[in-house]
Amino acid sequence: MQLRRDLVEAMVEHARRDHPDEACGILAGPEGSGRVERFIPMLNAARSPTYFEFDPTEWLKVHRELSANDEEVVVIYHSHTATPAYPSVTDVRKAGEFAQLLPSPHYVLVSTRDPDEHELRSYTIVDGVITSEPVDIIDPEVSTEV
């Protein structure tokens, strides 16, 4: 998967800002393109260091905005504050819930357990099966197909 450097930096900054709670949000792009073009940080309604929950009102607003702009969710991201950037059992369960609403999003995890460095990984999670995928961080002027 390709992610623009500015979007990666925005996710990491969001994760650092919300630490010690998990940060969460989405990366969106034109419907059907598989391209990531827009960073949308969201509120972790759980305000928890161990899991995230999109605020239902905010999620509905974002979903309507994406639909009105012919955009879709390409990536769901969140941070892990004390563990590696690998999906937890809760993350896998949530992916099953998202699968009912979204067409095969990618899941990007940012670990902020080390205060000096971050760890960023991407996965697909289909029917409970976690598959790691490489992340190619590119400069903004390069194509961003996933």
The reply to whether 106 falls in a domain is yes
Quote the number of domains for the chain.
1
Inter-CA distances, 88 with 58, 62, 82, Å: 24, 25, 12
Domain of 38, CATH number, reads: 3.40.140.10
Say which residue the tokens 């992916």 belong to: 95
Round to whole Å and give the CA distance between 140 and 91: 29
In single-letter form, the type of residue at position 143 comes to S
Mean pLDDT per segment of 10 residues, for the chain of length 146 residues? 96 97 97 94 96 96 96 97 97 91 90 94 96 94 54
**pLDDT (0 to 100) of residue 73:** 95
**pLDDT (0 to 100) of residue 102:** 83
Domain containing residue 38: 2-138
**pLDDT (0 to 100) of residue 142:** 52
**pLDDT (0 to 100) of residue 100:** 81
Contact status, residue 120 vs residue 12, Cβ threshold 8 Å:
yes
Say which residue the tokens 């961003």 belong to: 144
**pLDDT (0 to 100) of residue 33:** 92
